[in-house]
Amino acid sequence: MSNRNQIKSAKRVVIKVGTSTLTYENGNINLGRIEKLARVISDLMNSGKEVVLVTSGAIGVGSSKLKLKEKPQSIREKQAVAAIGQCELMHIYSKFFGEYSHTVGQVLLTRDVVEDDHIRENVVNTFETLLEMGIVPIVNENDTVSIDEIENIVKFGDNDNLSAIVASLISADLLIILSDIDGFYDKNPRENDDAKLLEEVLEITEELENAAGGAGTNFGTGGMITKLMAAKVSNKAGVNMVLANGECPEVLRDVLEGKEIGTLFIRDKK
């Protein structure tokens, strides 16, 4: 079976949407985009897929809700605004999914859930039960408990890492990360006109890490390094990953129909 055909038969799918997909450039929430996302995911569920949505955006939504002129600066303010934004964000998802007769459940996690067997088992049980019940688990980092995302948004890339952890934990067939770019290129396409989109990646080499803006401590350029890290984690756990553009959420349907869209990072077969 070709690799893209494999994607067609994916049943359990984790979808990650970042702040760039959920908000306008001015920081306000993009309701039209979220509504489309809810419609497409609802339809995928109607077709028999199990979907887990990993979402960012709590601070953005909280800032809009509070009509803040500027984004909060200190970590404690960010945590407080995230607490406000998180319930507003869930309210928005709940409303849009509800319009298509689907119910959502909120799952707030920290990345260390994988480190303790007992906690890990509890988390997996919750996901399995929600999915059995036909619910869409909506996952975000628990910003009250953990400041990893808030503090290291550049380093950890806005939940990219968390989505890979979730996909591995629940043995998903596919992780789809939606970004503001069509996929992974051999060099940064915003700086190089001749950059080429890679349709399939079999192995994450040093060369690719360099194309993403450098490995190691150089996390300064773009969010691509964290996408590669997510691909590494999920591929190692036997999960395929596709990086695609979230501008039109309908792209999810195309990816799951096996169309050559975005970049497919192929799972480790070992």
Position among 27, 213, 238, 258 found at the interface with ligand ADP (CB under 6 A): 213
Count of chain residues binding ligand ADP (CB under 6 A): 21
- The yes or no reply on residue 152 touching ligand ADP (CB under 6 A) is no
Q: Which residues contact 180 (CB under 8 A, 6 or more apart)?
A: 18, 20, 21, 245, 246, 247
Kindly provide the b/e burial profile for residues 168-194, where b requires at least 16 CB atoms within 10 angstroms of the residue's own CB.
Answer: bbbebbbbbbbbebbbbbeeebeeeee
Q: Does 190 bind ligand ADP (CB under 6 A)?
A: yes
Determine, following the binding rule CB under 6 A, whether residue 189 of this chain makes contact with ligand ADP. Answer: yes
Q: Which two tokens stand for residue 25?
A: 């450039």
Tell me which residue has its CB nearest to ligand ADP.
223
- Of the candidates 172, 180, 173, the one whose C-alpha atom is nearest the C-alpha of residue 56 is 180
CB 178, CB 254: distance < 8 Å: no
Task: Please state, in angstroms and rounded to a whole number, the distance separating the CA atoms of residues 135 and 43.
Answer: 13
Least Å from the CB of residue 30 to ligand ADP = 13
Q: Confirm or reject binding of residue 39 to ligand ADP (CB under 6 A).
A: no
Stretch that binds ligand ADP, among 22-30, 36-44, 162-170, 211-219 (CB under 6 A): 211-219
Which residue of 104, 107, 109, 224 would you call a contact of ligand ADP, by CB under 6 A?
A: 224
214: contact with ligand ADP by CB under 6 A: no
Q: What's the chain's Rg over C-alpha atoms?
A: 18
Q: Which is nearer to ligand ADP, 18 or 105 (CB)?
A: 18
Q: Which residue type does 76 have?
A: R
Residues in contact with ligand ADP, shown as a per-residue x/- string from 66 to 105 under the rule CB under 6 A: ----------------------------------------
Q: How far is the CB of 183 from ligand ADP (least distance, A)?
A: 7
Q: Which of 222, 240, 244, 261 forms a contact with ligand ADP (CB under 6 A)?
A: 222
User: Which one, of 35, 81, 80, 79, lies nearest residue 61 by Cα?
Assistant: 81
User: Minimum Å distance from CB 146 to ligand ADP?
Assistant: 19
DSSP 8-class letter at 155: I
Euclidean distance between CA atoms 162 and 132, whole angstroms: 22
